[in-house]
Amino acid sequence: MITIVWDVDDVLNDLMSAWFHDAFLPLHPDCAVTYDQIAENPPHRVLGIGKQEYLDSLDAFRLSTRARCLTPHAAILEWMREHGALYRHVALTARPLASAGPAAEWVFGHFGNWIRCFGVVPSRQDESVPLYDRDKADFLGWFREADVFVDDSEANVAAVEKLGVQGVVFPQPWNRRTNTVEDILRMVTR
């Protein structure tokens, strides 16, 4: 059975959009940038703030009630209902370990009928925590069960493709994909 590995933030959910609209814009009402203009991830330069300010704000948002209530991506949820049983599924996220538990709870709460494994690569190194993997490619090189990898980062997809895994870049403003979500899901189904 083919195993599909799904990124969590900005693929299974709309974390960046929710953070931008619910956490960033209320504190920066004069910001002239729209979500569709966020051409980089991380977006701190586009937004005119420091990287640490961005990371602190995003980390706080990840632990918020709003983040715990994110709506799953409707097209992916529908695809799972129609096609999910034909594949095995893994969620793989890169985020601070402090927010991994709430993310896993969110994934299993919305996608637990299909996703049975949850992996996390700490996004920032804490020297008190063992370093097993530097990035998602390292994790998947160890895991060795991925056939398809869906992520919003072109760099992550390129690194994973070097392992022989079929990569699919999920469309977001910061990547150059012009495919629709429906196109992406058709590619995954094939």
Read off the pLDDT of residues 145-173 as tens digits, 9 standing for 90 and up: 999 999 999 999 999 999 999 999 999 99
Q: What is the mean pLDDT of residues 135-148?
A: 97
CA pair distance 153, 127, nearest whole angstrom: 26
Among the listed residues 4, 150, 10, the one whose alpha carbon sits nearest the alpha carbon of residue 70:
10
Q: What is the mean pLDDT of residues 127-155?
A: 95
Read off the pLDDT of residues 10-50 as tens digits, 9 standing for 90 and up: 999 999 999 999 999 999 999 999 999 999 999 999 999 99
What residue ranges do the domains of the chain occupy?
3-13+71-189, 15-68
Top-level class of domain 3-13+71-189: alpha beta
CA pair distance 40, 178, nearest whole angstrom: 16
Instruction: Report angle CA 180, 158, 37 to the nearest 5 degrees.
Output: 45
